Amino acid sequence: MSTAEPSPSDSEKLAVNRPVQAWLLAAIAGSADAICLLLYDAFAGQMTGNTVLLALDLFKTDWWSAAYHLALIGLFVLGLVGASAALRNAVSPGMVLIASAMLVATAVQLPMRAPALVVAAAMGLQNAAARRFGSLTLNTVFITGDLQAMASALTDEDAGPPARMAGRALAVLWASYLAGAVCGALLTRATSYPLLATAAAMPLVLLLGTGWWRQRVRVR
């Protein structure tokens, strides 16, 4: 008796299936970005911003700062590659997100601007591990593409109710990132270890899952 191969949609679909989880992940990313920008002169997940900072470093011939911002971009990409490799080898998305939170939590002990380097890798892990939320495919770390998708969904006259619902979900995602960034800025004034509070939010994302943190997903 042969066992049928799962369809591509089944094998690729992550079990992160509630939009509220996407909103919480976006808030975590917004918080990390605000904290790293205020304390370490860099973005944690917004590589567009880090690319602009890199360009300014090159313009000013500040080679050490240029190397720093280039390293941030490289570590973010490394996080993306590492998460994709882990998922291909049947590591659950939840375990990848736990690894991301642990990196953020341990980064606070590092000196100078090193915490931002570790958090950049963590944000790469997060974005690659969790992209499917029900019928939606979302980025929870960088939101420029999400805003474009939101505008398209809300302004398409031929779009039906599902598309408009997706547009509203994307609008909430942007608002969640904004709220997280505000909270991150406040945390820099309220505590000496604001990244710990950011990492502490990840268990809530996991608890809102429907057992997905235990699932192993084959990604083609």
Between CA 175 and CA 17, with CA 143 as vertex, the angle to 5 degrees is 80
Q: Which of 159, 162, 150, 206 is nearest to 28 (CA)?
A: 206
pLDDT over 70 percentage in the chain: 82
Under 8 Å between Cβ of 204 and 21: no
What was the pLDDT predicted at 29?
95
DSSP letter at 158 equals T
Answer for the pair 110, 119: CB distance below 8 angstroms, yes or no: no
Highest mean pLDDT, choosing among 8-17, 34-43, 156-165 = 34-43
Does the pTM surpass 0.85? The reply is no
pLDDT at 13 over 60: no
Query: What's the N-to-C CA distance of the chain in angstroms?
Result: 25
The span from the CA of 159 to the CA of 178, in Å, is 27
pLDDT digits (tens, 9 = 90+) for 97-137: 999 999 999 998 899 999 999 999 999 999 998 877 777 77
What structural domains and CATH numbers belong to the chain? 13-209 (1.20.1250)
- H or E segment to which residue 64 belongs: helix 63-88
pLDDT digits (tens, 9 = 90+) for 35-46: 999 999 999 999
CA-based radius of gyration for the chain: 18
